[in-house]
A and B are shown apart, each in its own frame.
Chain A
């Protein structure tokens, strides 16, 4: 049974707007006007227990708003959401005991005290006795590579150490559903890798379900088999990363190093030339014509070296958002690839 079920979830915010200048200010004072912004529009998806899913979208796409609705922080305007069988906004204790939300650059730890003090509060709130709390702290601290830092005031910790301590605080009650909003934001490469490794271990050890947003594609490629793409509040893709490439990047790049130079016109008989500099040529070849084209290239040209690559995932996703696949092409709101769970 799905652990997260989302059906037609929508959030509309009223936003006050005013014209600049004195006249606008006076008008705003006496006759305040609002426009209604649809931050999330009819989003639907399901997640199975233990899944790790990337939630991608440009700034303002509706990612964080969706996470806030799923964690019960904000009330949806319409639609349904169930997390572990609970309606999030009711914030029932059994629901709150099963979830955690981790936000990069946002802190729950008390700034002027050691993290251990905040952990003591969390342990008491979740009803974890002292011995058990200590066992869990030791276990999580070991997984995160933290030890003495927990006894230092939080304000004295580095950004990476603080993020690890935040993770520890958020996971002390062993939630089975984790919502992560930019968990590696601002961290250096080593700290990012440590956080990713920890999340992977936590998922393995507790079969926890993770849904994470990140602008670092390395987070997504390292952790997520499945991604959800949201654009202007609408879900535009739900499926595997590979499926995303197949669907939105129908061409693969074929890079050739040639033994001699050829005319560009001659090269273009094999397919669209993306780049040609001296004896180095790069073709864009449709996936279903790849084998045939590579065979022809090898047979008809003096090939010294050949490599076939996918375009970088960031590039593909960037193109998808730039083109506004749904709104502009009038496609169905959600496209799935064959490997994605049905919704």
Chain B
């Protein structure tokens, strides 16, 4: 009996859910194995995200000599959590998608009944798991060097932080994946990400807490996606002065907006795809 002769199975919620779980489990386990193959490189990738720790040194020194709203220990804590948030929200999907589109490697993914985005998403999620031991070592080292910065956040804030970081990762991933869709039109979509990164660097709170910005700029920035990629999760954990419910609401709005634009560009882009080289 040929497969086509089999009676078609009726799709059911239970079967779809089981399939989704099976795909998630398999993708995570295989991509985790893949990332572990690069364990040596992973250490360097973690260290390459140490800019917040360098800025930490600069700002804690400055705080000792100047009059800032945050104390030296506050700055140390702030940049440590910036470092952690950055580590947990690193995204490189645009480089992978650009290569797949330009070199035609997307073809194999398009032949399977699973949206290619899930391969990338699972790859990023699995990489986070592989990265955690290195991050834990660096954080332990940090508290060894700055024992005065050690504190215990409240369980509620910890839970909110985990949710905020997860959403920040999704937002950064979706934004970059949306820019990656331009690879169907231009050969170097990465240029868009580089331009975006300029704003990300200053408005995300990576270089300085938004509380240090002129109030008008900080207020405007809070309606852009940038502060939600770093500053907002950090502010949630450190209980800085920021509206939590509104912050989650704005994040969800940006996620929805990027989601809509992404799907539109994906459909239009596929019509232009020529599968060059494959």
- Measured CB to CB, the residues of A under 8 A from B are 13, 68, 71-75, 84, 91, 93-94, 96-101, 103, 106, 108, 110, 112-113, 117-118, 120-127, 173-176, 206-208
Tell me if B2 and A124 are in contact (CB < 8 A): no
List CB contacts (< 8 Å) of B240-278 with chain A: 270-271, 273-275, 278
Q: Which of B113, B270, B275 contacts A68 (CB 8 A)?
A: B275
Question: Given A98, A120, A174, which contacts B30 in the complex, CB threshold below 8 Å?
Answer: A120
Q: How far is the CB of B12 from chain A (nearest CB, A)?
A: 12
Pick from A68, A120, A123: contact of B107, CB below 8 A: A68
Contact A100 B23, beta carbon cutoff 8 Å: no
CB closest residue in chain B, given A175: B3
Closest to B27 in A: A121
Mask of B104-130 contacts with A, CB within 8 angstroms, 1/0: 000110111110000000000000000
Cβ-defined contact, A96 with B113, below 8 A: yes
Q: A98-B4, A174-B3 are in contact. Are A125 and B111 (CB under 8 A)?
A: no
- Shortest C-beta distance, A72 to chain B (Å), equals 7
- Whether the Cβ atoms of B113 and A101 lie closer than 8 Å is no
Chain B interface size, under 10 / 10 to 19 / 20 to 34 / 35 or more: 20 to 34
Residue of B nearest to A208 (CB): B2
Report yes or no: A74 in contact with B275, Cβ–Cβ below 8 A. Answer: yes
Interface of chain B residues 184 through 236 with chain A (CB within 8 A): none
Indicate if the CB atoms of A112 and B37 lie closer than 8 Å. yes
Roughly how many angstroms separate A113 CA and B33 CA in the complex, as a whole number?
8
Which residues of chain B are near A94, meaning CB under 8 Å? Answer: 8
What would 5 more interface pairs be, CB under 8 Å, given A98-B3, A99-B111?
A101-B108, A103-B278, A113-B30, A121-B30, A206-B3
Indicate which residue in A73, A108, A127, A206 contacts B19 across the interface (CB closer than 8 Å).
Answer: A127
Q: Are A73 and B107 in contact (CB under 8 A)?
A: yes
Complex interface residues of chain B between 21 and 39 (CB less than 8 A to chain A): 22-23, 25-27, 29-30, 33-34, 37
Q: CB distance B275 to A122 under 8 Å?
A: no
A65 to chain B, nearest CB (A): 9
